Amino acid sequence: MLARKGGYSRGVKVGVWLAGLAATWLAASPAHAADLADVKARGELRWGGDLQGGEPYVFEDEQHPGKIQGFEVEIADALAQKLGVRAKFMQNDWSNLVPALERGDFDVILNGLEETPERRARIRLSAPYYTYGETLTVRAGSPFKTLADLKGKRVGTLNQTVANDMLKASPLEVVLYEGQQEPYMDLAKGRTDAVLLDHVIADRYGCVLPELRCLPDDLARGHYVLGVGNDAPALQEAIDKALASLRESGELERILTRWKLWDARQKLPETVVLAAPVASAAAVTTLAAPVTPAAPPVRHFGRGHALLFLQGALITLLISVLSFALASPLGIALATLRLYTGRPGRWLSAAYVEVFRGTPLLLQLYVLYFGLADVVRLSPLAAAVLGLSLNYGAYEAEVYRGALSSVPHGQTEAARALGLSKWQALRHVVFPQALRTALPAVTNDFVALLKDSSLISVITVVELTKRMTILAVELRDWMTPGLMCAALYFVMSFPLARWARRIERSLEPIQAVEPGAEGEP
């Protein structure tokens, strides 16, 4: 597991982190979701979660950038110890945890994964490690008490949660959010009328706001469980055994108490709590919570955060530069195919451009990373670079096609009349002139790619924008991280635009005829 108290200097840590990044890049992910034997052989239990989930699940230690903490980190460590291996956290976008598990990116999901029949039908689910209640939060003084009261109203929640399923079954308008703080911010501002989410989230992010009130009764209860690959029955069995042992020894209770999560819900008999609406209000009101969780401490932007931001910016820059370095020759090749070859080449090039330009980049990334996982297993960074370059190659093809067409035919004829072959004429006469024409549009596309690269967070890469959202949730502040993020994008794109302008000027022939040149002998 990541040592949570490290003694290295920050510089060394960033270095180690970058080396790790390079290693991730080069190493393709393993072939399939590993079973127990693979985990033991590797000596590592890789568990997937999303740092954006924040406190108390799994989040970054602001004192030690690159280190993580949270009750799930401690549970993962304890489980791994029982299995005789180390735990290793794998960052993954929360909404894609299940496909990433199926793809084999990690061995288990451990990140507030709720037990539902649909999930059980798709992957293996472990025994529960936590019982949560669905808490309805409204504005103070609001008359709403049940979902039925909220008919036709706007109610916020997170995507892919049991709360979302419950809301969808009710006649009201569901508003979906990515992070757990935003629903409550919107509720406090009056943009929604209520929020339904797990009490773990509600207690920390909603009930603590003075404008809001959490209703005391759980609307339903359910379990957090681990997700295990379908082809890993032995791993599931071992984890269930380890969980039972942690429960018996009292270690699970100690971890949960330390994180102010232990309450009466944890002692309810198994049968009561299957994410079903709670039948009797009485059963719930007897649950006097022994601890009142406080809001997570307010954190401020510090040096550690700045370093994390720089890491994110570096990844964004690295991926953008590599992607564009591939997209440009691809675009030139496609444009050449389109303009200077026979019908099959022209058709192929046109089809490529229409397909890659006509479908969303996000979709292409999903297909590359998840859709093709059975055929070709790309590492997240490789998939990101490939996806961006394939997509931008289509745009560059059109830029270069326009630029090549703009070179007058007389130029090609003049080159051919000198004895240059078709390709020599292209290479020495047409291309150099087309490149100059293309430069402003190409620069424009690079700046666009720099920002489009934020989409790759869906395939687990933590780049600048994802880093910003993670920190915004952790700091409960969108302004500072947002401005920082914007500044970094600007710092990356502005000098490039200036540099491109300078090259352009140096390539531009001086249009004016020098004084006295006309008619001079």
Partner 1 sequence: MSHEPSIRLVGVSKRFGARQVLRGIDAEVKPGAIVALVGASGSGKTTLLRSMNGLETIDTGQIQIAGHTVTPQPSDAALTALRADVGMVFQDYQLFPHLSVLDNLCLAPQVVRQRPRAEAEKHALALLDQVGLADRHASRPSQLSGGQKQRVALARALAQDVNVLLLDEPTSALDSRTRDEIVGILRNLVKRAAHPLTLLLVTHDLNLAETLSDEVWTLVEGRLAHVAT
Least distance from C-beta 408 to partner 1, angstroms? Answer: 8
Among 154, 357, 416, 476, binds partner 1 (CB under 8 A): 416
Closer residue to partner 1, CB minimum distance, 11 or 509: 509
Give the range of 98-106, 143-151, 183-191, 410-418 binding partner 1 by CB under 8 A. Answer: 410-418
* Amino acid at site 313: A
Residue position matching structure tokens 């071992």: 238
**Does 411 sit near partner 1 (CB under 8 A)?**
yes
Closer residue to partner 1, CB minimum distance, 248 or 518: 518
**Does 510 sit near partner 1 (CB under 8 A)?**
yes
**Does 413 sit near partner 1 (CB under 8 A)?**
yes
Closer residue to partner 1, CB minimum distance, 279 or 517: 517
Least distance from C-beta 409 to partner 1, angstroms? Answer: 10
Which residues, 6 or more positions from 436, have their beta carbon under 8 angstroms from its beta carbon? Answer: 504, 507, 508
How far apart are alpha carbons 179 and 471 in whole angstroms?
11
CA dihedral 358, 359, 362, 367 (to 10 degrees): -140
**Does 506 sit near partner 1 (CB under 8 A)?**
no
**Does 405 sit near partner 1 (CB under 8 A)?**
no
Q: How many residues bind partner 1 (CB under 8 A)?
A: 30
Among 355, 414, 486, 503, binds partner 1 (CB under 8 A): 414
Closer residue to partner 1, CB minimum distance, 303 or 422: 422
**Does 406 sit near partner 1 (CB under 8 A)?**
no
**Does 519 sit near partner 1 (CB under 8 A)?**
yes
**Does 351 sit near partner 1 (CB under 8 A)?**
no
**Does 98 sit near partner 1 (CB under 8 A)?**
no
Closer residue to partner 1, CB minimum distance, 210 or 410: 410
Strand ranges inside 181-327, DSSP E = 194-198, 212-214, 220-228, 276-277
Closer residue to partner 1, CB minimum distance, 402 or 482: 402
- DSSP collapsed to 3 states, 52-115: HHECCCEEECCCCCCCEECHHHHHHHHHHHHHCCEEEEEECCHHHHHHHHHHCCCCEECCCCEC
Evaluate whether 51 touches 68 at the Cβ level (below 8 Å): yes
**Does 342 sit near partner 1 (CB under 8 A)?**
no
Least distance from C-beta 340 to partner 1, angstroms? Answer: 14
How far apart are alpha carbons 297 and 204 in whole angstroms?
10
Distance of CA 125 to the CA centre of its chain: 23
Among 248, 269, 297, 520, binds partner 1 (CB under 8 A): 520
Pairing of strands 108-109, 44-49: parallel
How far apart are alpha carbons 440 and 438 in whole angstroms?
6
Closer residue to partner 1, CB minimum distance, 75 or 430: 430
Least distance from C-beta 415 to partner 1, angstroms? Answer: 8
Evaluate whether 150 touches 193 at the Cβ level (below 8 Å): yes
Closer residue to partner 1, CB minimum distance, 248 or 520: 520
Among 141, 269, 410, 506, binds partner 1 (CB under 8 A): 410
**Does 509 sit near partner 1 (CB under 8 A)?**
yes
Q: Is 504 exposed, middle or buried (0-12, 13-18, 19+ CB in 10 A)?
A: middle
HSE-up (13 A, CA, CB side) for residue 421 = 2
Which residues, 6 or more positions from 13, have their beta carbon under 8 angstroms from its beta carbon? Answer: 6, 64, 65, 66
Least distance from C-beta 519 to partner 1, angstroms? Answer: 6
Phi, psi of 142 (to 5 degrees): -75, 145
Closer residue to partner 1, CB minimum distance, 143 or 419: 419
Tell me the DSSP string of 324-339: HHHHHHHHHHHHHHHH
Give the range of 74-82, 252-260, 390-398, 403-411 binding partner 1 by CB under 8 A. Answer: 403-411
Q: Which of residues 417-456 bind partner 1 (CB under 8 A)?
A: 417-422, 424, 428-429, 432-433, 436
Evaluate whether 57 touches 72 at the Cβ level (below 8 Å): yes
Closer residue to partner 1, CB minimum distance, 146 or 421: 421
How far apart are alpha carbons 409 and 181 in whole angstroms?
61
Q: Name residue 173's beta-bridge partners.
A: 154
Give the range of 188-196, 305-313, 333-341, 511-519 binding partner 1 by CB under 8 A. Answer: 511-519
Least distance from C-beta 520 to partner 1, angstroms? Answer: 7
Least distance from C-beta 406 to partner 1, angstroms? Answer: 12
Report whether the peptide linkage leading into residue 56 is cis, meaning its omega lies within 30 degrees of zero.
Answer: yes
Residue position matching structure tokens 């393993």: 30
Q: Name residue 89's beta-bridge partners.
A: 47
Task: Supply the DSSP symbol for 457.
Answer: G
Residues making contact with partner 1 (CB under 8 A): 408, 410-411, 413-422, 424, 428-429, 432-433, 436, 507, 509-511, 513-514, 517-521
